[in-house]
């Protein structure tokens, strides 16, 4: 009996003696080859489906092994005769740091005898047989407008800012006899994900974080479970469920989708709003940093969400200042109730020239958020692209939930630009007798 007649899960069912007997039959060359035999090590869900499909959509929780699956399929495509492969991630850094150079990326999982050469300046990998994989950022959809490919790997599609990038990719996927795309992503109920799921030529694979728990670092498991287990968002991040709108939430995903744009008119004012975290310790909340502008037609445009997780005060201050200059903003605003004086001093310690304004909350979260939600209902707020985490907070938050930092920053920014004000509690007149 040879090891090649088994896979890793089959061997685990044998006794130690039986496993050693099988492994002892391997030559050194065969043992090395086995280390890089993906079909031996992979779980069934990580093997490309059989049959005629155009898109393989892998919707899986964090740590499932999505990146490894995508990288291994690219290696299989390159060895099998594919000539032009597109590698598309949410940003250029994501493609480089995760898909190509990451711990489960293409370079890390390739065997020495079939290692592609990597040319970062040309954004491409080249194999000895002539196969080529080119890196693209979904933040730059126009770069996909001309190139043609026969295969494509799209990573974290649900987090792409511009769904247009996927459309441009598909228009160019016309080489070879069997153009195909693999999509590896944590699920979010975006319009593009739903459209792909409902396509007759799509095969959908779902999986949870727990299916790969044996291969995950204890620190990762501890952090992820502590953050998401038992929460509604955990259904998405751990169990790969598509979250529907929360009953009672002030925003609806279809509403945000219908108002979404890719371009903006000339803006009259732009602000960067900060909702600071209470600390930078593990498990602390993030620093919500959202950029919003307003046009002459009194419509607001959400330009960016540059929120940062578990950052030191100087780190989130630098992040906000960078956004201030990038978007030529008029001012940075911070909530006085959330340590506003500290926020101002931290920002000014990094850059004394930044225009800063303290804003004050006299009412709770719901009275602050409701007027902003009403502007969305009136069609007066547009998201420039997609901001997945921010929109998750907006569409799942209800009164009584923990503070959603990105949403708070959004509310402050739009309130500042539109001067909608916060309703004050009714005054009760008293009479002197």
250-271 per-position pLDDT tens digit: 999 999 999 999 899 999 999 9
Coil/strand/helix, residue 197: helix
Which residues share a beta bridge with 363?
A: none
Check the CA dihedral 381-386-390-395 and report its sign: positive
Q: Specify the residue for token string 């898909």.
A: 99
Query: How far is it, in rounded angstroms, from Cα 339 to Cα 360?
Result: 11
The tens digit of pLDDT for each residue in 185-243 reads: 998 888 899 999 999 999 999 999 888 888 888 888 887 777 788 777 788 888 888 87
Number of Cβ atoms within 10 Å of the Cβ of 153: 26
- The domain limits of the chain are 3-35, 44-237, 253-418
pLDDT tier, 4 (very low <50, low <70, confident <90, very high otherwise): very low
Question: d(Cα 287, Cα 302) in Å, to the nearest integer?
Answer: 17
Q: What is the mean pLDDT of residues 352-381?
A: 85
Q: What is the pTM of this model?
A: 0.80
Please give the pLDDT value at position 338: 54
Q: Which CATH superfamily is domain 44-237 in?
A: P-loop containing nucleotide triphosphate hydrolases (3.40.50.300)
**Region label for 107, one of left (φ > 0), alpha (ψ between -120 and 50) or beta (otherwise):** alpha
Same fold, 44-237 and 253-418: no
Question: How much is the pLDDT for 430?
Answer: 42
3-state DSSP call for residue 431? coil
pLDDT attached to residue 376: 95
Length of the chain: 433
Q: Mean pLDDT of all residues in the chain? A: 87
Q: Encode 117-175 in three state secondary structure.
A: EEEHHHCEEECCCCCEEEEEECCCHHHHCCCCECEEEEECHHHCCCCHHHHHHHHCECC
Statement: residue 310 has pLDDT above 90 = no
3.40.1190.20, 3.30.420.40, 3.90.76.10, 3.30.420.280: which CATH number matches 253-418?
3.30.420.280
Burial of 92 (0-12, 13-18, 19+ CB in 10 A): middle
DSSP string, 210-244: GGGGGGS-HHHHHHHHHHHTTSHHHHHHTT---PP
């Amino acid at each position: 009996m040879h090891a090649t007649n088994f896979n890793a899960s089959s061997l685990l069912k044998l006794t130690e003696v039986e496993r050693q007997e099988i492994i002892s039959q391997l030559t050194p060359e065969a043992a090395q080859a086995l280390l890089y035999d993906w079909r031996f090590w992979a779980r069934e869900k990580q093997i490309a489906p059989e049959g005629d499909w155009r898109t393989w959509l892998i919707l899986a929780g964090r740590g499932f092994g999505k990146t490894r699956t995508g990288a291994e399929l690219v290696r299989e495509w390159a060895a099998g005769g594919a000539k032009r492969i597109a590698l598309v991630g949410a940003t250029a850094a994501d493609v480089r740091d995760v898909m190509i150079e990451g711990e489960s990326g293409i370079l890390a999982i390739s065997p020495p005898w079939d290692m592609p050469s990597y040319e970062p300046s040309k954004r491409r990998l080249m194999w000895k047989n002539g196969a080529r994989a080119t890196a693209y950022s979904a933040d730059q959809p126009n770069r996909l407008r001309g190139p043609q490919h026969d295969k494509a790997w799209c990573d974290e599609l649900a987090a792409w800012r511009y769904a247009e990038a996927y459309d441009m990719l598909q228009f160019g996927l016309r080489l070879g006899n069997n153009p195909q795309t693999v999509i590896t992503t944590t699920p979010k109920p975006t319009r593009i994900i739903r459209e792909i799921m409902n396509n007759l030529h799509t095969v959908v694979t779902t999986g949870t974080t727990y299916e790969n728990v044996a291969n995950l670092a204890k620190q990762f498991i501890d952090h992820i479970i502590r953050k998401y287990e038992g929460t509604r968002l955990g259904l998405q991040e751990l169990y790969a469920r598509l979250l529907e709108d929360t009953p009672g939430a002030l925003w609806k995903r279809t509403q945000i989708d219908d108002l979404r744009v890719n371009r903006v008119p000339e803006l009259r004012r732009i602000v960067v709003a900060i909702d600071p975290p209470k600390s930078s310790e593990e498990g602390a909340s993030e620093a919500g940093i959202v950029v919003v502008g307003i046009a002459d037609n009194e419509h607001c445009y959400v330009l960016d969400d540059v929120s940062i997780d578990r950052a030191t005060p100087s780190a989130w201050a630098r992040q906000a200042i960078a956004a201030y200059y990038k978007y030529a903003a008029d001012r940075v605003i911070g909530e006085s109730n959330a340590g506003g004086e500290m926020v101002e001093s931290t920002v000014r310690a990094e850059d004394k020239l930044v225009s800063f304004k303290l804003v004050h909350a006299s009412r709770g979260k719901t009275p602050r958020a409701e007027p902003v939600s009403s502007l969305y209902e009136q069609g007066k707020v547009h998201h420039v692209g997609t901001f997945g985490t921010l929109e998750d907070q907006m569409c799942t938050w209800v009164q009584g939930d923990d503070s959603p930092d990105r949403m708070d920053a959004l509310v402050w920014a739009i309130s500042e630009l539109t001067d909608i004000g916060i309703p004050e509690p009714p005054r009760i007149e008293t009479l002197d007798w």
